[in-house]
Chain A
Amino acid sequence: MRYVAAFIRFWWSFVVGDDWRVAAGLAAAFAGTWLLAHHGVAAWWLLPPAVALLLVASVAREARGSG
């Protein structure tokens, strides 16, 4: 049981890390990209700004918290 918990903790910190909102935002951005691409709409423009916004928002939250 201890090893299962450690395994889950390892993957959680590996994938989600300190800010779960970033992981949730990425999931939403990928879902939007997939929907656009599978409806024949160009989707290349969505992920890069979404990732930039998630980074800015996450860094700003942390900076506010520790500033």
Chain B
Amino acid sequence: MSSNVLLFLGAFLASAVEAVEALTVVLAVGIVRGWRSTLAGVAAAAVVLVAIVAALGPALQHIPISTLRFVVGALLLAFGLQWLRKAVLRAGGFKPLHDESEAFASEREQAGAAATAAGKRTDWYSFTVAFKSVLLEGLEVAFIVLGFGSAQGKLGLAAGAAAAAVVVVVAVGVVVRGPLARVPENALKFVVGVLLTSFGVFWGGEGAGVAWPGSDLAIVALVGFIALVSVALARELRRRRTALHPAPARA
């Protein structure tokens, strides 16, 4: 039960973060250059992603579960640690925070500066940028969904969580018609990094032959342990950052 909740939460939050990033690019290009080719790029990327999931999902079910958990766990761990590392460095003040408003402004500027496609039916700039952005962010979502779903034998739950996240993010984006700057993206990335890393340790360990004490409940302990280490590390970094660059005294 608790592992299902964590699996849903992990897939939902990871997908939401990726969807926010893709949405920022799509909105910027769509607003500046028009929606027709931009949405065509989004649709083309969605078709490719669905084809990848449809092809790989059933194929993964033919792989022995211990091999699958080892490969998926190791990949999730490598991927999750990268997220966590960046999130800790951001939380500690050693890496600039990811800013969707800034990313939106920069993407708008580039879209405005690119050559226009006057007289042409398809604006290939809009199509390509939207396609690339949705495909790249979507591949990460597909990887997480396939990884979470196949390793735990709950592809439907993971896919449902990802779909729910995309629907929520797109709905909010349509209402706001701007970048989702108020989403606490860095905090979300911290949480997702902790979850991916913990699931990676659990499944990778199981695949390598580990019998976890408490079976599935070990995931909860792993999440707690990784979260504790990460928070302590971020605090220590902040302390050092303050010691290196003390804030000016107020008058």
Chain A residues within 8 Å of B, Cβ to Cβ: 14-19, 22-23, 26, 30, 33-34, 37-38, 42-44, 47-48, 51-52, 54-56, 58-59, 62-63, 66-67
Count A-B pairs with CB separation below 8 Å.
98
Residue in B85, B88, B212, B229 whose CB lies within 8 Å of A44: B212
Chain B residue contacts of A56, Cβ below 8 A: 229, 233
Chain B residue contacts of A59, Cβ below 8 A: 85, 88-89, 92, 233, 237
Indicate if the CB atoms of B78 and A33 lie closer than 8 Å: no
Q: Indicate whether B6 reaches chain A with its CB closer than 8 angstroms.
A: no
Indicate if the CB atoms of B94 and A55 lie closer than 8 Å: no
Q: Indicate whether B240 reaches chain A with its CB closer than 8 angstroms.
A: yes
Kindly state the separation between the CA atoms of A59 and B237 in the bound complex, as whole angstroms. Answer: 9
Kindly state the separation between the CA atoms of A56 and B231 in the bound complex, as whole angstroms. Answer: 11
- Given known A51-B197, A56-B229, A56-B233, contact A62–B210 (CB-CB < 8 A): no
Indicate if the CB atoms of B233 and A43 lie closer than 8 Å: no
Enumerate the 5 nearest inter-chain pairs by beta-carbon distance, A residue then B residue, closest first.
Answer: A37-B209, A17-B82, A34-B208, A33-B208, A52-B229
Chain B residue contacts of A48, Cβ below 8 A: 201, 222, 225-226
Indicate if the CB atoms of A33 and B92 lie closer than 8 Å: no
List B68-120 residues whose CB lies under 8 Å from chain A.
70, 74-75, 77-79, 81-82, 84-85, 88-89, 92, 94-95
Indicate if the CB atoms of B226 and A51 lie closer than 8 Å: yes
Kindly state the separation between the CA atoms of A3 and B75 in the bound complex, as whole angstroms. Answer: 22
